[in-house]
Structure formats: structure tokens, C-alpha cells
């Protein structure tokens, strides 16, 4: 058997990523709490409920798990609605609770990366106009000021807003997130306000903490025509990709907003990233479909024969991760992989997904591209938004009714990777033998196909 070791740079960050609403539980003051109680909003009528009970203190045992498995970083988010449950009323006990979690992470050797907005808002925000309202970026910035002033001694890496494009689309065009609007014009307006909010947050954080590292997390999703010969599909794939993948990253890079029918200059948004936080899950093909008006007439599909996750949500496309890295590199910033993972209750795909994605990441670090770390989504199964508990992204399985955790084989694989600071052929042979030949191809005389251990 061929033997190889894909090593990562010294000091590389290995960890997992979580988001407040998905793990904390009892988030009564945010816009999801009531939304989850409206019929038809969440798959199978699920609720976040206690989630992973982090607010009840189970963050301690979960961060113990992360640290024991060799991780040295953790990405988490804080809830604006806990800090400011009513407009202008600040709850210092919530800040204290977050201080304990951040101190706990650091005490375990996990460098915290803190997200300030991960899809949820205080419930009161929609009542005053929500994200389409021109005053909301300043509302967000005043929350950011409170948070950063109180937490700056514990955090030096901040992600202002998670996946602004996904949020704007899901909440204002697809209607899947609260407030459930279906209006693409409003979604574009929200994207604009999210860029302004990010820019204000960026400048606010640097004013308080000049040496801070501040970024924005982008969900990159490669898009190609389903039929390469189809000119309309090729046009649509390119058009959708420019809106989905490029619009916000370009605006925070050069301060120019390139909406399909309108251009605008926003000098305050230029150069407002100290690093590029990249979330990558999959890539898609675009099929022309006149019924898909809200998606600009392109329906997103996975080509027949794709290696898909149990609910069909994610296709295992490691080459798309490479494409995402090539895309990210053109911004000439340090890159942090802020999310990557797959939903997989039985852990049948996850080991090969993990190994084959890390293989692509290794190609990048092997060229000395400035990649700082990899944060797997996620540590323990959590509440997956409108998909409720139907999708399981955890290295650890969770039974939300008992709070019992069970280790999946992927947790063992990831622990070996983190501890060794790299991926070895032995790990792949043991955890994902079916992917061995594609990860370690042998060519030429004497090459033998890999035989999985009996």
C-alpha cells in the first residue's frame, strides 16, 4: 500500500464551528423562537428547544470533547437578542455568561473565533423595520460596540456576519427564515444593508481593538451549467454565481456594489476584511427552469450519480472546495475555513467527505497559500434551521430528548488529524477505504489497487 502523510503548517488551527441559536437552547428573545412555533415553518414541526443545552452549561462538556480530541480553536457566535433583549436595554448577565464560555474555551486551549451575527435577530428588530430598514446597520453597530468592549480581552478574531448572502436570500427571497418574505428586490436591499452593517462593525471593532482580526464569512458554492452545451444555462450559472459568490466579497474588497441593474460606490466598505472566512459545503449545477423565478430562472441540482448526503442536501464535491480556494486566494488575504461538513446521521459519507476535502486543503497549504485553519461544521448535532433536527452534521451524535451524546467514527478520524496536524494514508485506509484510490492514486508499473482490510 502506498504510504503518505499530508502535513499542515505549524500552528494551523483545527477546530469546529457552532452558532448560538443552534446550540444554546431557550433563545426566547430572538426571531426564531416564535417562528419555530408557526405551523409549517420547520421540518416535522421541530423546535430548537434546549438545542445542545449550552446555555444550561453543557458547553463545558462539549468543549472538553473538542479539546481532548486535539482541537485548538473553536468558532462560536453570540446572540444579539440576549445582549439587547429590548431596544436599548443591555443585559450584563448575558455578557457575563459569554465571558465564562470564552474563558472556558481559552482555558481548554481552544482559541475562540467569535461571530457577531449568525442568522438570528432580536425579536424586536422586525417591528422596527428589520434588515431592510436603513437604520439597522447602526443598530447592529451599537450592539457590536457593547460586545467588543466587554469581550475584547478574550477574543481577537471576529466574524461580523455569517453568510450575508444566504441570510438575505433565505429570509427575504425564499421565505425560509423569519420574517419569511418572498421579494427578491427586498433581498438585494438587505444585502446592501448587511454590507453597510459589516463595514460599520469593522471600523467599530478596530477603533476599540486596533490589533483585532476582523472578517465576514462567505458561503462559496461553485455553479456550472447542467448541460455544458446550453448557452442559457451557462449564462444563468455565471449570473447566479456573480450574485451569490462575488457580490458581497467584492463590495467589502473594493467598496463597489455591483447589483445586476445598479452600481454603487461604498468607500466605507472597501478593504474591510483582515482575513477571508470561507464556508464551503458543495457545488451545484444550474438547470434552466422558467418556474424558478425566485432563483433567477435557474434551478439548482446535483448531476445524476453524485455522492449525496442522506437527505440529498449536500453533494460530496471536493474539487469544488479546490475551486473555492482558488477563488478565495484572489483577494490576497489570509484564509480561514470557517465551515465545512456534511449531514450524515449514520456517518456513512462523512469520513470520506472529510478526508477528501482536507486533501484539497492540503494542496493549497502545500503551495504555501496563506490558510490559517480549518473549522469543521460541527462538533455535536444541532438545530439546523428550517430543516430542524432532520439533518445531523455533528462529529458527535446528539439525542435532543435526553441530551445524550454518542461519538461517531468521524470524531476519531478528526481527532487523529488534529493531533497529527495532518492526514495520513493510514487514516484514510482505516476510516474511508473506499476513497483510498482516489486520494492516493498509484500509476505506472507495479501499481496495485488498494484492498480494504478484511
CB of 229 to ligand FCB, least distance (A): 32
Min separation Cβ 407 and ligand FCB, Å:
20
Helix (H) or strand (E) holding 322: helix 318-329
Q: Which residue is at the shortest CB distance from ligand FCB?
A: 19
- Taking a C-beta distance cutoff of 8 angstroms, is the pair 17, 376 a contact? yes
Output the smallest distance, CB 393 to ligand FCB, in A. 6
Contact between 158 and 148 under an 8 Å Cβ cutoff? The reply is yes
Task: Give the residues across from 112 on adjacent strands.
Answer: 74
Angle at 106 between CA 81 and CA 219, to 5 degrees: 55
Give CA–CA dist 226/94, Å, rounded.
48
**Shortest Cβ 89–ligand FCB spacing (Å):** 27
Query: Could you identify the residue written with the cell 481559552?
Result: 106
Residue 446 has a CB neighbour count (10 Å cut-off) of: 6
Q: How far is the CB of 384 from ligand FCB (least distance, A)?
A: 5
Helix (H) or strand (E) holding 216: strand 213-220
> Residue 166 interacts with ligand FCB (CB under 6 A)?
yes
Min. distance of Cβ 341 from ligand FCB in angstroms? 7
Asked if residue 219 binds ligand FCB (CB under 6 A), the reply is yes
Distance CA 365, CA 13 (A): 13
Q: Does 167 bind ligand FCB (CB under 6 A)?
A: no
Stretch that binds ligand FCB, among 29-37, 346-354, 377-385, 403-411 (CB under 6 A): 377-385
The verdict on 16 binding ligand FCB (CB under 6 A) reads no
Burial 414-442 (b: 16+ CB within 10 A, else e): bbbbbebbbbbbebbbbbbeebbeebbee
Question: Taking CB under 6 A as the rule, does residue 160 contact ligand FCB?
Answer: no
Options 136-144, 162-170, 202-210, 250-258: segment touching ligand FCB (CB under 6 A): 162-170
Helix axes 59-68, 92-107, angle to 10 degrees: 20
- Of 284, 347, 384, 386, the one binding ligand FCB (CB under 6 A) is 384
Q: Is 36 in the site for ligand FCB (CB under 6 A)?
A: no
Q: 16 or 22: whose CB is closer to ligand FCB?
A: 22
Question: Which of the ranges 25-33, 158-166, 250-258, 421-429 carries the binding residues for ligand FCB, by CB under 6 A?
Answer: 158-166
Closest approach of ligand FCB to the CB of residue 218, in Å: 10
3-state SS assignment for residue 189:
helix
Should residue 193 be labelled a site residue for ligand FCB when binding is judged by CB under 6 A?
A: no
Task: Figure out which of the listed residues 6, 12, 15, 19 binds ligand FCB, where binding follows CB under 6 A.
Answer: 19
Q: According to CB under 6 A, which one of 55, 331, 385, 396 is a site residue for ligand FCB? A: 385
| Alpha-carbon span 182 to 172, nearest angstrom | 5
CA distance 202 to 315: 34
Which H or E run contains 436?
helix 436-439
Cβ-contact 256, 264 below 8 angstroms: yes
Binding residue (CB under 6 A) for ligand FCB from 353, 377, 396, 450: 377
Distance of CA 13 to the CA centre of its chain: 16
Nearer of residues 162 and 193 to ligand FCB, judged by Cβ:
162
Q: Pattern 392-421, binding to ligand FCB, x per CB under 6 A?
A: -x----------------------------
CB 166 to ligand FCB: min, Å: 5
Q: CB of 162: closest distance to ligand FCB in angstroms?
A: 5
For residues 74 and 111, the answer to whether their CB atoms sit within 8 Å is: yes
Can you say how many angstroms the Cα of residue 432 is from the centroid of all Cα atoms in its chain? 24
Give contact residues for ligand FCB (rule: CB under 6 A).
Answer: 19, 22, 162-163, 166, 219, 279, 339, 377, 384-385, 393
Amino acid at each position: 500500500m502506498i504510504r503518505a502523510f499530508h502535513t499542515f503548517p505549524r500552528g494551523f488551527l483545527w477546530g469546529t464551528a457552532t452558532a448560538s441559536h443552534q446550540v444554546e437552547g431557550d433563545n426566547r428573545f430572538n426571531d426564531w423562537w416564535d417562528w419555530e412555533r408557526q405551523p409549517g415553518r420547520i421540518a416535522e414541526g421541530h423546535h430548537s428547544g434546549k438545542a445542545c443545552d449550552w446555555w444550561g452549561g453543557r458547553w463545558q462538556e462539549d468543549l472538553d470533547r473538542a479539546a481532548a480530541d486535539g482541537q485548538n480553536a473553536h468558532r462560536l457566535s453570540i446572540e444579539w437578542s440576549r445582549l439587547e433583549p429590548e431596544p436599548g436595554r443591555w443585559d450584563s448577565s448575558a455578557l457575563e455568561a459569554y465571558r465564562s464560555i470564552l474563558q472556558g474555551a481559552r482555558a481548554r486551549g481552544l482559541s475562540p473565533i467569535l461571530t457577531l451575527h449568525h442568522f438570528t435577530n432580536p425579536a424586536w428588530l422586525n417591528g422596527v423595520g428589520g434588515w431592510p430598514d436603513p437604520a439597522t446597520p447602526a443598530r447592529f453597530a451599537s450592539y457590536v460596540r457593547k460586545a467588543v468592549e466587554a469581550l475584547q480581552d478574550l477574543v481577537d478574531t471576529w466574524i461580523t456576519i455569517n453568510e450575508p448572502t444566504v441570510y438575505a436570500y433565505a429570509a427575504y427571497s425564499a421565505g425560509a427564515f423569519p420574517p419569511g418574505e418572498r421579494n427578491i428586490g427586498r433581498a438585494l436591499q438587505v444585502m446592501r444593508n448587511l454590507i453597510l452593517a459589516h463595514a460599520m462593525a469593522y471600523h467599530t471593532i478596530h477603533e476599540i481593538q486596533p490589533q483585532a482580526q476582523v472578517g465576514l464569512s462567505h458561503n462559496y458554492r461553485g455553479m456550472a451549467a447542467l448541460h455544458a452545451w446550453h448557452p442559457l444555462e451557462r449564462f444563468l450559472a455565471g449570473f447566479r454565481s456573480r450574485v451569490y459568490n462575488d457580490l458581497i466579497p467584492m463590495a467589502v474588497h473594493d467598496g463597489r456594489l455591483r447589483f445586476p441593474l445598479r452600481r454603487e460606490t461604498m468607500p466605507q466598505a472597501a478593504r474591510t476584511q483582515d482575513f477571508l472566512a470561507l464556508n464551503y459545503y458543495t457545488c451545484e449545477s444550474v438547470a434552466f427552469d422558467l418556474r424558478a423565478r425566485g432563483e433567477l430562472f435557474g434551478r439548482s441540482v446535483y448531476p445524476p450519480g453524485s455522492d449525496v448526503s442522506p437527505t440529498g442536501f449536500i453533494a460530496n464535491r471536493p474539487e469544488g472546495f479546490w475551486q473555492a480556494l482558488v477563488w478565495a486566494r484572489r483577494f490576497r488575504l489570509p484564509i480561514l475555513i470557517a465551515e465545512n461538513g456534511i449531514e450524515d446521521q449514520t456517518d456513512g459519507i462523512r469520513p470520506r467527505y472529510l478526508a477528501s476535502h482536507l486533501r484539497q486543503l492540503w494542496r493549497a497549504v502545500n503551495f504555501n497559500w496563506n490558510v490559517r485553519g480549518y473549522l469543521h461544521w460541527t462538533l455535536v448535532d444541532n438545530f439546523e434551521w428550517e430543516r430542524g433536527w432532520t439533518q445531523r452534521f455533528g462529529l458527535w451524535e446528539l439525542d435532543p430528548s435526553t441530551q445524550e451524546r454518542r461519538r461517531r467514527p468521524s470524531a476519531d478520524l478528526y481527532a487523529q488529524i488534529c493531533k497529527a496536524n495532518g492526514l495520513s494514508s493510514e487514516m484514510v485506509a482505516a476510516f474511508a477505504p473506499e476513497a483510498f484510490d482516489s486520494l492516493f492514486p498509484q500509476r505506472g508499473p507495479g501499481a496495485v489497487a488498494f484492498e480494504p482490510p478484511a
